[in-house]
């Protein structure tokens, strides 16, 4: 069997990281800035309705997939590379009684394990920036949408160089090390044959996420230090990354954006 490529190693490492107790402890149910409130807004803009087939690329523990099924009446497939993450997604979906409308597939967003033109809408939240093969992923998004299908992407944007503290694998896991500038995402989506209709910056959502992680760390350090230790979280080691991220957002070097696109009919 051939050795894994550096890109494959990065994807496997990030997928495994997002399946850890540490990430669940610090981020809660929704693993992206803006949380489920931003997901609801995106679903409305994408006009997701009863019976629509939706793909959630890099679905994580499935919070978005369950929301789209429960609140919008959609039939949702979630795809993720993390085996542990998918196990958790399936368990939470069983508990919610949504197994008839939500399914999860193990797969790579750069090689989606689904047929051409199968979906009315596709969402990808705070994940495209972590894919080594972004062009391949964008091409896959276009491939699996039906003509007239809609795409919603939320992601970190980097308009200047990152602080040194946020480079390397820690930055990948923080969803920023390989993020593109706004123009880079536009070129990526349009290059895949998608028509971008709307771009909105939501930097405040990223700031609120940093605030939430800091607050969780403080509370857990005071009330449940054993949980932090069991999850392998060192609050003192995390703090410099959070401060560097906050500074980068304040300087306008790092932000968060919503992109809406459509596959031409």
Over residues 191-216, the pLDDT tens digits come to 999 999 999 999 999 898 888 888 77
pLDDT at 16: 46
The interaxial angle of helices 182-191 and 134-144, nearest 10 deg, is 50
- Residue 111, sorted as left (phi over 0), alpha (psi -120 to 50) or beta, turns out to be beta
Residue scoring higher pLDDT (196 or 129):
196
Identify the band that residue 19 occupies on the pLDDT scale cut at 50, 70 and 90. very low
Cβ atoms of 225 and 195 closer than 8 Å: no
Q: How far apart are CA 205 and CA 70, in angstroms?
A: 24
User: Domain locations in the chain?
Assistant: 6-262
Assess whether pLDDT exceeds 70 at residue 20: no
For residue 169, pLDDT over 60 is answered with no
At 217, is the pLDDT very low, low, confident or very high (cuts 50, 70, 90)? Answer: confident
Range with the poorest average pLDDT among 21-30, 127-136, 195-204: 21-30
Q: Is the pLDDT of residue 17 over 50?
A: no
List, in order, residues 6 or more apart from 11 with CB less than 8 Å away: 81, 108, 130, 131, 132
The CATH T-level fold of domain 6-262 is: Rossmann fold (3.40.50)
- C-alpha 26, offset from chain centre: 15
Q: φ, ψ for residue 54 (rounded to 5)?
A: -130, 140
Write out the two tokens for 190. 């349009």
Percent of the chain at pLDDT > 70 equals: 83
Residues 6+ apart with CB under 8 A from 187: none
More confident call, 11 vs 47: 47
- Distance (Å, rounded) from C-alpha 62 to C-alpha 188? 26
Residues 15, 81 contacting (CB under 8 angstroms): yes
* pTM given for the model: 0.83
């Amino acid at each position: 069997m051939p050795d894994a490529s550096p890109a494959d190693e990065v994807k496997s490492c990030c997928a495994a990281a997002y399946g850890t107790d540490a990430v669940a402890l610090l981020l809660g149910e929704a693993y992206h800035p803006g949380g489920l409130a931003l997901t609801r807004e995106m679903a409305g803009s994408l006009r997701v309705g009863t019976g629509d087939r939706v793909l959630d690329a890099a679905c994580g523990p499935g919070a978005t997939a369950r929301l789209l099924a429960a609140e919008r009446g959609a039939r949702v497939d979630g795809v993720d590379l993390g085996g542990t993450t998918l196990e958790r997604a399936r368990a939470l979906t069983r508990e919610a009684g949504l197994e008839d409308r939500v399914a999860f597939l193990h797969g790579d967003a750069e090689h989606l394990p689904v047929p051409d033109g199968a979906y009315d809408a596709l969402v990808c939240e705070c994940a495209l920036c972590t894919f080594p093969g972004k062009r391949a992923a964008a091409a896959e998004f276009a491939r699996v949408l039906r003509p007239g299908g809609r795409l919603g992407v939320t992601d970190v944007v980097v308009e200047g160089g990152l602080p040194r503290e946020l480079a390397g694998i820690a930055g990948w896991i923080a969803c920023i090390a390989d993020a593109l500038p706004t123009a880079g995402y536009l070129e990526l989506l349009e290059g895949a044959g998608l028509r971008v209709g709307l771009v909105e910056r939501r930097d405040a959502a990223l700031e609120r996420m940093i605030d939430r992680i800091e607050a969780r760390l403080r509370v857990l350090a005071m009330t449940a230090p054993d949980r932090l230790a069991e999850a392998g979280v060192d609050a003192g080691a995390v703090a410099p990354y959070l401060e560097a991220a906050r500074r980068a957002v304040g300087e306008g070097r790092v932000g968060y954006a919503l992109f809406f696109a459509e596959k031409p009919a």
